[in-house]
Amino acid sequence: MRPDTVRSAIAEEQEFLDLATARRDRLAAHLEDELAAAAEDALAASRQRMLRRQFEELRRAGDGLVFGRLDALDGTVHHIGRIGLRDDGEPAENTEDTEDTKPAEDAADADPLLLDWRAPAARPFYTATPFDPQGQARRRHIRTAGSVVTGVDDEPLTHAGGGAGAEEGLVGEGALLAALGQRRTGRMGTAIATLQREQDDIVRAEATGPLIVQGGPGTGKTVVALHRVAYLLFTHQQMADQAVLVLGPSPRFLDYIAQVLPALGETAVVSATCDTLLPGVVVGRDESRVVSEIKGRALWQGALEEYARSLFPAPRDLRLRWDGEFHVIPAGTVAQVLAAVAPGRPYHQARRSFATQLHHLLAEAVAEQRAALLAEMEEGYEDILARFDRGVTPAGTAGSSSDVDGLLSDEEIEELRERIAGNDAIARFVESWWPTRDPGATLRALLTDPELLRRFAPTLTPAEAALVAAEPEPWAPGDIPLLDALADLLGEASPAPAAGDSVAERARRQRGWVYGHVVIDEAQELSEMQWQMALRRCPTRSITAVGDIDQAEASHRHTTWSEAVRATLGDRWTAAELTICYRTPSEVMDLTGPVLAKAGSHNAPPRAVRSSGIAPWQRTVAPDELAGAAAEAVRDLRHRWSGGTVGVVAPAARIAALRAALTGVPALTGVPVLTATQAKGLEWDATLLVDPDGIAAEPRGWNALYVALTRCTQELGRLLPGPSYDTSGVVASSQPKG
């Protein structure tokens, strides 16, 4: 574009941004006034919660309110933004057909002032290409800083306008590459302005069953998953009432992505790892890969189901005392009640149902015994009883049925049942015969008893059972899915509604919460029992799982998605794939082919679409100088990538020494030193890879090395321990300035 054309376009978009911002500010002020009033009843409180969600969405939309524009072939212009706005300042309604969104001040068929990026009419912004323009003549990306338009990128959507980016399948190539070239901040940002077509297809895919997305490093798996959450919550409002669960691989990763969904206006989201998903349960130790693999197997689900069933009491005569008399509930009757209440129900729910039935049975037994005693008395004393009744019943008064014949009325039997239900002695009897059980203690009883393990998990070898039984007491990561499964089979001993002002707070505090959708990031790391844990929280199977099977480092042995999910999902899942690497430069991706081959991969690495112009470099360092050389290299990288981020990845055995070396240098404070597993899902401008051979030598080390190589967006440096120090410092190239 010519400079004067650019200036004119910026002025035009500034005028529109000012208009949209004024609409947004007016509506936000109106909502703030309404929220200042106290809620007088439950209905008003519910309305205020809805208004607060709208207010928060408007407040967060201040930065990047408008980021795109579509000019259709018929002359229609649509602006695209974080939220939808009507011409009167109202937010555009969430409808499947945006033409139903009608501003109050304009004609009934007028379009909204600003289209929400999730609205169907906005989709061509992400999917139109010169080869498939979808009725559009031009796409414009609008760059802003706060309330100021700083630039525009126009992309003609005619075949003649297609360039190299179009051939690569890129949408908005200029804006995309500009975003990818920016310094990293240590927090993931939104990508609503630069989502690509293959990403948008996944974001907007149906949520009717499990969707598993395979994507290599830098393909935007996490971005796609999080923007899919925002899209689904926008499209399916009922999901907001149930909340969405996002499962990530580590607390560091969850912190890294923490700002994305709030920035997109979504708060009905619970983020957790598999280790932190159970309220009040804390992982207190690590475990060996061998034990982790054993505990992750699908066999435990069936074993725990059998174990839980064995805890149900066996039928027998139940002898209960009431008002000084003993009453017996026959074993046959007990068996009938157990058969009615136990099948398919959690242990404690069945216990509560049985106790309720027992209260009825005891009340009826008391009534029947009274009736039998009275009948026996009447056989010998009919005359005496008749005279007695005439003496105590006034003439002309019928009296109650129990006054006349000694039998209890239905109302009296119900009153008796209520007294039995509230009686402490009866409650103690039920507890002694059918005790409440703590999931933790009950699981430990199984895991620490070789005989129980042989009985309920017979497919374990004696050596494997011995390893499990010998584990110390604090919970390890492999225990959490087993504990969750058993807690589900036992059920809540005393269920209570979860407290909290928001749906996310209530969901977070309740183990048995059923979510509207579950997102799993780095899903290739989940064991079969962790998959069960995720599925338990979404019985509808509305699940989006993203990951790279070639980056799997967990102790399980799965090398394909079919192997990973067969035990949980069978073949009832849909596969999708991300094929383009946006983050990692081509210079680094060129190194990954041999590593993938040694990892046993059956997949081709994703295609890199950008070059940083910086060839990966390496130095050979004397082993005893490795930590000091790493600190020096990090100092250089931080200088070159000032304003961005640098990360260090190394074998687990070297982490402590490297952290100590960096901690001693104030200028290097805050630089993360992580294993490949800990670095999964993260990205930095520059990565220093220390002792790559050491990483490759770890369990599933070639997969881990693949992870470590692909964390940078610009520059990769490698330090290799060796017999001599390479004073040239660089093998592959000189170190250009970033």
Identify the pLDDT of residue 99: 37
Identify the pLDDT of residue 104: 34
Q: Indicate the residue type of 660.
A: A
What is the number of residues in the chain? Answer: 738
Got the DSSP string for 184-246?
A: P-SS----TTT--HHHHHHHTS--SS-EEEEE-TTS-HHHHHHHHHHHHHHH-HHHHHH-EEE
Residue 145 DSSP SS3: strand
Domain ranges (residues) in the chain: 3-192, 221-307+440-578, 312-393+402-436, 610-721
Q: What is the pLDDT of residues 528-585, one digit of tens each?
A: 999 999 999 999 999 999 999 988 888 888 889 999 999 999 999 999 999 998 889 9
Identify the pLDDT of residue 379: 65
| Pairing verdict, β 617-621 and 607-608 | unpaired
CB 128 within 8 A of CB 171: yes
Positive or negative, the CA dihedral 244, 245, 249, 253 is: positive
CATH class, domain 221-307+440-578, is: alpha beta
Give CA–CA dist 103/111, Å, rounded. 7
Residue 436 DSSP SS3: coil
Identify the pLDDT of residue 176: 58
**pLDDT mean values, one per 10 residues, the chain (738 residues):** 86 94 91 83 77 81 86 93 78 46 38 88 89 90 89 82 51 55 55 81 92 92 89 87 91 82 77 94 94 96 97 95 91 95 94 95 88 70 54 44 61 90 94 96 96 96 95 94 97 78 86 94 95 96 94 87 94 94 91 91 85 94 94 95 94 95 87 93 93 94 94 95 53 38
CATH number of 610-721: 3.40.50.300
CB 247 within 8 A of CB 481: no
Identify the pLDDT of residue 90: 56
Q: What is the pLDDT of residues 708-719, one digit of tens each?
A: 999 999 999 999
Q: Which helix (H) or strand (E) holds 304?
A: helix 299-310
Identify the pLDDT of residue 397: 42
Identify the pLDDT of residue 94: 52
Identify the pLDDT of residue 728: 37
| Pairing verdict, β 269-272 and 244-247 | parallel
Q: Nearest 5 degrees, angle CA 692-CA 696-CA 699? A: 140
Give CA–CA dist 368/379, Å, rounded. 17
Which of 706, 670, 690 shows the shortest CA–CA distance to 584?
A: 706
Identify the pLDDT of residue 102: 34
**Strand boundaries in 522-654, DSSP class E:** 543-547, 574-578, 580-581, 607-608, 617-621, 646-649
**Strand boundaries in 622-668, DSSP class E:** 646-649
Give CA–CA dist 377/396, Å, rounded. 26
pTM: 0.80
CB 532 within 8 A of CB 298: yes
Same fold, 221-307+440-578 and 610-721: yes
Q: What is the pLDDT of residues 613-635, one digit of tens each?
A: 999 999 999 999 999 999 999 99
Identify the pLDDT of residue 1: 66
CB 171 within 8 A of CB 197: yes
Positive or negative, the CA dihedral 439, 445, 450, 452 is: negative
Give CA–CA dist 480/476, Å, rounded. 7
CB 180 within 8 A of CB 196: no
CA distances (Å), origin 522, targets 36, 546, 736: 43, 6, 33
Count Cβ neighbours within 10 Å for each residue of 642-661 and write b for 16 or more, e otherwise: eebbbbbbbbeebbebbbeb
Give CA–CA dist 581/193, Å, rounded. 17
CB 573 within 8 A of CB 550: no
